[in-house]
Structure 1
Amino acid sequence: MHLMVVARVAGVLGGLAWIVRHVADVEALRWPGLVLLAVALAAYGAGLVSRSATWLRAIVALCLPLLVWSVVEVAHGAGDDSLVDAVAGGAVALVSIAGMVRARAARQPAGAHAA
């Protein structure tokens, strides 16, 4: 399976898990959502770097989730933890959905003579 497909699916599922966790007050969705979002961010990070620099891909795949986590932890000080997590998860889910839409549009032929 392609790395970006994994990132997008994990991003949508993890983001939705955190949104449902906040809306329905289901605390059991915290850790599965966290794991899915970490996988999505690691895959996005690895996708930012050329395939020829494997060591750099590994470093960026580790650092991007840590960077996002640190920003979310700072935001936790400003509001309700569950709400902050839901907003962060929703942001990752929206980015993932946008990526899916863009990838689908890129695969379809364009123009007046396209079938």
Structure 2
Amino acid sequence: MPEISRYVLPVLLLLASNVMMTLAWYGHLRFEHRPLAIVVLASWGIAFFEYCLAVPANRIGYGVYSGAELKTIQEVVTLSIFAVFSVVYLREDLTLNHLLGFALIALGAYVVFAGPFAERVIVTAR
């Protein structure tokens, strides 16, 4: 596998899996009249396909990214997709507080990937 795809493919798979995850977790909110049992089963069905993308994303990405970096990518992707989803699908407002909170999380992602303490080991795995 070309080296570039080991960096890009996990991110693309996480993007696709997070679209499905967002639909599974929040898509039913516009269908309050549906029975909860049906909603749970439908969400579970969507989540199965989400896992079919998320698990390979992490398997392929592990090695070029650490576990913490993969989780950070997933969280930033999740918030980005959810921000769009909440405005477009749920028709909710995106407030300054939301944007500020997301920006702080993005700052946290920066610290994980390139922060000033990137090489300092706190707890060793050995």
TM-score after normalising by structure 2 = 0.37
Larger Rg: 2
Higher relative contact order (CA 8 A, sep 6+): 1
TM-score after normalising by structure 1 = 0.39
Higher normalized helix content (fraction of residues): 1
